[in-house]
């Protein structure tokens, strides 16, 4: 059954955690769908994790649309969320164009960073499901510095979250804030919160798929590696290289043969080829 926004809100109200992961390609989407992930998310983190960029701000709308299209082919029941890239929602009308392009490629909702109440209002008026994102905002913050550590930071964040909910945001992602603050915001809001590096008490969790599979050599405090992809893949590449060089791959089981009679004809014919 398709996981709608109503379904995600129900989860908050029933105290059931919401499971979200980033996803940037078809095959990964198929597996996440099979595992019952609630929200499959094409984030602008595709830039640093797949495209080899230094920052999220380099990602274009065309790049998000390209990855969204491949992910969409693997998604059936999960809620499909897409990030609005840097500088694609600077004005409400511009944001509406961006959001409509993402929805046209199969997104169920769109996410944007920071205090963008007027943008959220306009998209909400057009019936678009808009996710807000507060705390550390990679599109606007140059350096990672945990947000919301002081009373002043915390008050700004709580008031901001309430304002974005009021503007019509249907979900809120909280990134890199103290657990206590994420707990307060989660209890204050009627919309569900999804945390990344925001502790245990948000209504759901999101991780970057590369991090949780062990594809990112960078060790981050909030990440639990559920798989050692890099270790396993490196071993496999080494084994393949060695076996090709030693003529141990391919083996008999990997090859196909010609019929003996056809081969004879080829050999016969070759004699007449200069
Ligand atoms: N691979 C990857 N993983 C992520 O979690 C992630 C991205 N990319 N790109 C977009 C944002 C940026 N995020 C980040 C980026 C850096 C830290 C980080 O440096 N954390 C420090 C602690 C910082 C602090 O508490 O002051 C760490 O040691 O883990 C955390 C989340 C989360 N998102
Ligand atoms: C960190 C998450 C929430 C994100 O915005 C992304 O992966 O792009
Ligand atoms: Mg993002």
Taking only the tens place, the pLDDT of each residue in 228-265 is: 999 999 999 999 999 999 999 999 999 999 999 999 99
Q: Whose CA is nearest to atom 3 of ligand 1?
A: 208
| Any ligand 2 atom below 6 A from CB of 135 | no
Q: Report the mean per-residue pLDDT for the chain.
A: 97
Which one of the listed residues 175, 243, 251, 267 is annotated catalytic?
A: 175
Mean pLDDT, to the nearest integer, of 18-23?
99
On the question of pLDDT at 144 being above 90, the answer is no
Q: How confident is the model at residue 146 (pLDDT cuts 50, 70, 90)?
A: confident
Domains of the chain: 5-227 (3.20.20.60), 232-272 (no CATH)
76: its two tokens: 């059936």
Q: Quote the pLDDT of residue 24.
A: 98
Helix (H, G, I), strand (E, B) or coil at 38: coil
Residue 225 structure tokens:
């590696």
User: What size, in residues, is the chain?
Assistant: 274
- What's the rounded Cα separation, in Å, for the pair 196 and 208? 9
Residue nearest to atom 2 of ligand 1 (CA): 208
Contact (CB, 8 A) for 5 and 170: yes
The sign of the torsion formed by the CA atoms of 142, 148, 150, 153 equals: positive
Q: Which ligand is nearest to the CA of 41?
A: 2
- Joined tokens for residue 51: 């495209």
Quick one: which of 170, 188, 174, 87 has its CA closest to 133?
Answer: 174
Print burial letters for 213-230: b (CB count within 10 Å at least 16), e (below 16): bbbbeeeeeebebeeebe
pLDDT for 13 equals 98
Q: Which residues line the pocket of ligand 1, CB cutoff 6 A? A: 45, 48-49, 138, 144-146, 175-176, 196-197, 208, 210-211, 216, 220-221
- For residues 91 and 158, give the distance between their C-alpha atoms in angstroms, rounded to a whole number: 24
71-216-69 Cα angle (round to 5): 10
CA distances from 216 to 220, 225, 227, 228 (A): 9, 9, 11, 10
List, in order, residues 6 or more apart from 120 with CB less than 8 Å away. 112, 130, 132, 164, 167, 168, 169
Contact 97, 126 (CB under 8 A): no
Q: How far apart are the first and last CA of the chain?
A: 66
* Residue 59 beta carbon below 6 angstroms from any ligand 2 atom: no
Residue 148 has pLDDT above 90, yes or no: no
On the question of pLDDT at 199 being above 90, the answer is: yes
10 is annotated as an active-site residue: no
3-state secondary structure of 268: helix
pLDDT tens, position by position, 31-57: 999 999 999 999 999 999 999 999 999
pLDDT for the residue 143: 81
From 31-40, 143-152, 186-195, the region with the lowest mean pLDDT: 143-152
pLDDT for position 145: 80
State residue 123's pLDDT score. Answer: 98
The reply to whether ligand 2 has any atom less than 6 angstroms from the CB of 198 is no
Mean pLDDT of 21-26: 98
ipTM of this predicted structure: 0.96
Q: What is the pLDDT of residue 142?
A: 78
Q: What is the pTM of this model?
A: 0.96
Q: 113 CA distance to ligand 1 centroid (A)?
A: 16
**Tokens 């080899």 correspond to what residue?**
52
Helices (H), the chain: 5-14, 26-34, 46, 61-72, 92-104, 117-125, 151-167, 179-188, 209-212, 229-245, 260-270
Q: Is 47 in the pocket of ligand 2 (CB under 6 A)?
A: no
Mean predicted confidence (pLDDT) in 110-131: 98
């Amino acid at each position: 059954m398709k996981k709608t926004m109503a379904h995600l809100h129900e989860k908050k109200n029933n105290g059931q955690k919401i499971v979200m992961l980033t996803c940037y390609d078809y095959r990964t989407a198929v597996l996440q769908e099979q595992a019952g992930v609630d929200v499959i998310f094409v984030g602008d983190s595709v830039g640093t994790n797949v495209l080899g960029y230094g920052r999220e701000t380099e990602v274009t709308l065309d790049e998000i649309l390209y990855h969204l299209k491949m992910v969409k082919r693997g998604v059936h029941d999960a809620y499909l969320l897409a990030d609005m890239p840097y500088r694609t929602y600077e004005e409400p009308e511009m944001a509406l164009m961006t959001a409509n392009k993402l929805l046209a490629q199969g997104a169920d909702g769109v996410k944007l960073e920071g205090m963008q109440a007027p943008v959220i209002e306009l998209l909400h008026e057009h019936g678009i499901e808009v996710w807000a994102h507060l705390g550390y905002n990679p599109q606007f913050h140059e350096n990672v510095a945990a947000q919301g550590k002081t009373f002043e930071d915390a008050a700004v964040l709580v008031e901001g979250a309430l304002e974005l909910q009021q503007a019509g945001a249907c979900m809120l992602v909280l990134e890199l804030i103290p657990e206590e603050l994420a707990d307060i915001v989660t209890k204050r809001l009627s919309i569900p919160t999804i945390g990344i590096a925001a502790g245990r008490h948000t209504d759901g969790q999101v991780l970057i798929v590369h991090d949780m599979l062990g594809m990112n050599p960078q060790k981050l405090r909030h990440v639990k590696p559920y798989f050692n992809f890099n270790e396993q893949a490196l071993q496999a590449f080494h084994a393949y290289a060695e076996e090709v060089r030693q003529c141990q791959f391919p083996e008999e089981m990997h090859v196909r043969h010609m019929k003996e009679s056809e081969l004879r004809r080829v050999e016969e014919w070759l004699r007449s080829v200069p």
